Chain A
Amino acid sequence: GAVVSQHPSRVICKSGTSVKIECRSLDFQATTMFWYRQFPKKSLMLMATSNEGSKATYEQGVEKDKFLINHASLTLSTLTVTSAHPEDSSFYICSAAEHDQETQYFGPGTRLLVL
């Protein structure tokens, strides 16, 4: 299947700092990527839809100024957690699908710990 990479896999940061997470489609172009968040022992919850060349679409309750999404190319979307707080500690995972294909492939995820 298609390959999606995510970097970093794990990050620890101090409260108040910003963290950038990259999501790349390695062998296909993705006009749309999705960012999910998963708390321990919970399911994945959609945060936002990242659209190449336009603004991201955020789910209700997700602060767009806190979770900045940039989809500058057909293979890269970035999620920046601004002024991170301990409650932002979570597992962040992105997904993408090839054009006209149903199956969405996920990146390996990023574990964020804010101290």
Chain B
Amino acid sequence: AQKITQTQPGMFVQEKEAVTLDCTYDTSDPSYGLFWYKQPSSGEMIFLIYQGSYDQQNATEGRYSLNFQKARKSANLVISASQLGDSAMYFCAMREPPFMDTGRRALTFGSGTRLQVQP
């Protein structure tokens, strides 16, 4: 069963506008972590933001914020004031179960959303 779902293969946004990239996840474990990474055409994976399942507040990092709705199992990425340099692939990922108890676990990635920022 797919654990991370990104339903938007591609998105367009005008420069300086905000955009929301959708991500839903599936897990039965109460402890998990959610990540967003940016992958430009060069291929590197750039860490953007992290949300722990027990975090009370939505994570924010500069222009990035994560709209975490636990009951809906969604972790949408919001990019405010889009810039041309934001054009890239964006991946949502999940880490499960508790890494402290069972050792470090790899990430499971969604299929990605290609964001294109238009001038």
Contact = CB atoms under 8 A, between A and B. Distances in A.
A binds B: yes
Interface of A: 1, 31-32, 34, 36, 38, 42-46, 49, 91, 93, 95, 97, 100, 102-106, 108-109, 111
Interface of B: 33, 35, 37, 42-47, 50, 52, 91, 95, 99-100, 103-104, 106-112
Instruction: Name which of A36, A38, A44, A91 has the most chain B CB atoms within 10 A of its CB.
Output: A44
B44 A109 contact: yes
A46 B106 contact: yes
A57 to B, nearest CB: 9
> What DSSP secondary structure best describes chain A's contact surface?
strand
Given A31-B104, A32-B104, A105 B91 contact: no
Given A97-B104, A102-B95, A43 B109 contact: yes
A36 B108 CA distance: 10
A43 B110 contact: yes
Contacts of A91: 43
Nearest to A47: B106
A18 to B, nearest CB: 22
Given A43-B109, A44-B91, A1 B47 contact: yes
A40 B110 CA distance: 15
Given A106-B37, A108-B43, A109-B45, 6 more contacts: A34-B107, A44-B91, A49-B104, A49-B106, A93-B43, A106-B47
